[in-house]
A and B are shown apart, each in its own frame.
Chain A
Amino acid sequence: MSRPLRQVVLVDDHAIFVAGLRAGLPPDIEVVGEAATAEDAIPLIRSLDPDVVLLDIHLPDAGGFSVIPAVHAERPAVRFLALSVSDSAEDVIATIRAGARGYVTKSIAPADLAAAIHRIADGDAVFSPWLAGFVLDAFSDRPEASSDPELDLLTGREHEVMLLIARGYLYKDIAARLHISVRTVETHVSNVLRKLQLSNRNELTHWAARRRII
């Protein structure tokens, strides 16, 4: 199965990590640009118009999430994948809610990262076990009066999918276990991402700030 070529911009201030990333990515991922600060990244992404931006959550001049809305107005097709090594829950959730389509940790294997980039470029969402665990925790208790149950609760299937991701299963394993297609798993994850971005329940970002364990 040949995958289409994806153009990627790396926004990260750790030169060693960026160099390692470039070396590890397969040939169907082309790194077209690099930036080390939010200030440099915004015009670069606007001019290059890549498929996917790999965005470090912590940049020297601003939070990574500040890049997303600045680009989104002009280049709505550019998709963002958040990367981090050891950030607080608050920063990760702020980045997701700013519009990133997924979150992975920097310890991810290059092959898995390449798969995540393709998935994001196709418009799907990518959840690490950490993010799935967060969703399960944040959406677990049922609020007495949910303002919007459509957004504030997970369906049974979404809950199952999140639980399996948190336990470390890959999409294809999840599809096999639940007897559904990988495509359906992706749909569930995308729906959960939408809820994560739009739901107001528990004021998620503040709630995340009080969560100290990552």
Chain B
Amino acid sequence: MSRRLLRSRRDQLAFGVCGGLAERTGIDAGIVRLAFIAMFWLGGVGLLVYAFLAVLMPESGESTERVRAGWAEAVALGAIALAGLFAMAATGLLLAPGVLAASALLLGGGAVVVRQLLTPSDGKRSSADWRSTLGETDGVRITIGGLLVAGGVALFILGAGDLRAFPGALAAGTVVATGFALLVGPRVARARAEAAHERTERARTDERMRVAARLHDSVLQTLALVQRADDAATARAQARRQERELRSWLYDEESQDGPDTLASAMSAIATDVETGYGIVVELVQHRDTPFDPALSALADAARETIVNAAKHSGAETVSVFVQLAEREAVIFVRDEGRGFDPAIVPTDRHGLRDSVVRRLAEHDGTARVTTTEGQGTEVELHVPRMSST
């Protein structure tokens, strides 16, 4: 016996309404179904109530296997319903089929519209993605509801001969359906609230699992590696790479989908060089901006410069400062290594000239090297910005 009133997916012939009622109340589903058929004979009320409930009751979230395939039961119930129908038609107790269909369409359509108008107020649909997709189905459902109502009105007009019988049937159906709605309404509302709560809870659990998986794949693996690392340099490089990765995951949500901004590209470069060359890259950058060709060239030039410092300077640390001003972007790459005399750089070493100077010149940028033998090197890379932020 379940606590909430939900359409059953376990015990379902049409929409699971009877199964749901049975699970909620503990009465056998077959008896509930017979009761609905009995009400069906009473001027079609059973059908109306069933349609109303099918629309209003939320579907159970459990996806357990069905306990009843139910073909035999469906055929048996259908036969009982039809037999009763013929018997009542023969004795003239039944309302004309045209009136029944018309009022069924009217009430069913009304229920669909009412449900759609009520649901947005349940407050759980905060996510923007949800709202947009739901907005579409809302429209579709209201349209269907409207069409049903219109169809009911049309049937009623076509079957004008039943003019006298119709108001009575409509009134009876409405009264019973309203009574039912009042009876089960609060329960349905509570069930909806609980279903929504359950959804939130599940989302929270999913998020926790995601974080746990992420930490396991990254931090715990790195910690294991660090414990087994033979030398301090390897351990430090691994720790630095992990720190940077975790930091960007925690604080840098915008740039998780690959380096499409300058800051994410520079972080990736710093990590690569640290891992590849076993040095520390102290990266300072406070602003970020989407990539454009000039900034992309700047980042490539910076990578080449940082790699040069890592390979040739002998310093353990390279400081990188990224400054995004309104008119230009500047990257400073500095080390306290051995420095060099620019005049005696071998002519076969084209790294700086080709990769850095030429690359920047294509975007009207410049590179300036300040170095003294024995006192470190600083390279300034400038490019003008196409548009200010």
Contacts from A to B (Cβ < 8 Å): 85-86, 88-89, 107, 129-130, 132-134, 136-137, 140-141, 163, 166-169, 211-214
Asked if B243 contacts A213 (CB within 8 A), the reply is no
Q: Which of B113-127 contact A (CB under 8 A)?
A: none
B260 to A: closest C-beta gap in Å:
14
In the bound complex, do residue A213 and residue B253 qualify as a contact, i.e. CB atoms below 8 Å apart? no
Q: A86-B243, A88-B251, A136-B323 are in contact. Are A213 and B282 (CB under 8 A)?
A: no
Q: Which of A134, A211, A213 has the most CB of B within 10 A?
A: A213
Residue of A nearest to B378 (CB): A167
Contacts of A134 in B (CB 8 A): 286
Bound Cα distance A169, B326 (Å): 24
| Interface residue total, chain B, C-beta cutoff 8 A | 25
**Nearest CB on B from A99, distance (A):** 23
B280, A213: Cβ atoms closer than 8 Å: no
Interface majority SS on A: helix, strand, loop or mixed? Answer: loop
B321's partner among A133, A141, A211 (CB-CB below 8 A) is A133
**0/1 per residue, B55-69, Cβ < 8 Å to A?**
000000000000000
Residues of B within 8 A of A211 (CB): 286
Q: Is the CB of A167 within 8 A of B334?
A: yes
**In the complex, which residues of chain A have a beta carbon less than 8 angstroms from the beta carbon of B325?**
140
User: Please, which residue of chain B has its CB at the minimum distance from the CB of A85?
Assistant: B243
Query: What chain B residues lie within 8 Å of A136 (beta carbons)?
Result: 286, 323
Task: Tell me whether A212 and B252 are in contact (CB under 8 A).
Answer: yes
B119 nearest CB across to chain A (Å): 35
B163–chain A nearest beta-carbon distance, Å = 68
25 intermolecular pairs with C-beta atoms under 8 Å apart: A86-B243, A86-B247, A88-B251, A129-B282, A129-B284, A129-B319, A130-B284, A132-B284, A133-B285, A140-B325, A141-B326, A166-B332, A167-B321, A167-B334, A168-B282, A168-B317, A168-B321, A168-B332, A169-B334, A212-B252, A212-B254, A212-B288, A213-B285, A213-B287, A214-B247
Determine the chain B residues whose CB is within 8 A of the CB of A167 once the complex forms. Answer: 319, 321, 332, 334, 378
Q: Chain A residues with Cβ under 8 A from B285's Cβ?
A: 133, 213
A166 to B319 alpha-carbon distance, docked (Å): 9
What B residues does A166 contact at CB under 8 A? Answer: 284, 321, 323, 332
B226 to chain A, nearest CB (A): 12
In Å, the complex CA distance between A167 and B334 comes to: 7
7 tightest A-B CB contacts, nearest first: A168-B319, A137-B286, A133-B284, A167-B332, A86-B247, A166-B321, A129-B284
Contact of B251 among A133, A140, A214 (CB under 8 A): A214
Question: Which B residues lie within 8 Å of A89 (CB)?
Answer: 286
User: When chains A and B are docked, how far (Å) is the Cα of A214 from the Cα of B319?
Assistant: 14
A212 to B248, CA, bound (A): 9
Least Cβ distance of B324 to chain A in Å?
A: 8
The residue in chain B whose Cβ has the minimal distance to the Cβ of A166 is: B321
Which residue of chain A is the closest to B324 with respect to CB atoms? A137
Cα separation A214 to B286 with both chains bound (whole Å): 6
CA distance A140 to B288 in the complex (A): 15
Interface assignment of B263: CB less than 8 Å from any CB of chain A:
yes
0 or 1 for each of B234-253: is its CB under 8 Å from A? (1 = yes):
00000000010011001111
Q: Is the CB of A213 within 8 A of B321?
A: no
Q: Which residue of A lies closest to B261 (CB)?
A: A213
Q: B118 CB to closest chain A CB, in angstroms?
A: 38
B332 surroundings in chain A (CB, below 8 A):
166-168
B321:A129 contact, CB within 8 angstroms: yes
Chain A, Cβ-Cβ closest to B253: A212
Inter-chain CA distance A166–B333, complex, in Å, is 11
- A168-B334 contact in complex given A86-B246, A133-B285, A133-B286, C-beta closer than 8 Å: yes
Q: Which residues of chain B have C-beta atoms less than 8 A from A85's C-beta?
A: 243
Q: Contact: B321 with A137, CB < 8 Å?
A: no
For residue A208, which residue of chain B has the nearest CB?
Answer: B286
The 0/1 profile, CB within 8 Å of A marked 1, for residues 281-299 of chain B is: 0101111100000000000
Residues of chain B from 122 to 170 with CB closer than 8 A to chain A in the complex: none
Q: Which of B288, B317, B334, B378 contacts A213 (CB 8 A)?
A: B288
Q: How far is the CB of A116 from chain B (nearest CB, A)?
A: 15
Q: Which of B289-321 contact A (CB under 8 A)?
A: 317, 319, 321
Cross-interface CB contact of B263 among A133, A163, A213, cutoff 8 Å: A213
* A211 and B285 alpha carbons, distance in the complex (Å): 10
Collect the chain A residues with CB atoms within 8 Å of residue B287's CB. 137, 213
User: B residues within 8 A CB of A130?
Assistant: 284
Q: Which residues of B contact A140 (CB under 8 A)?
A: 325
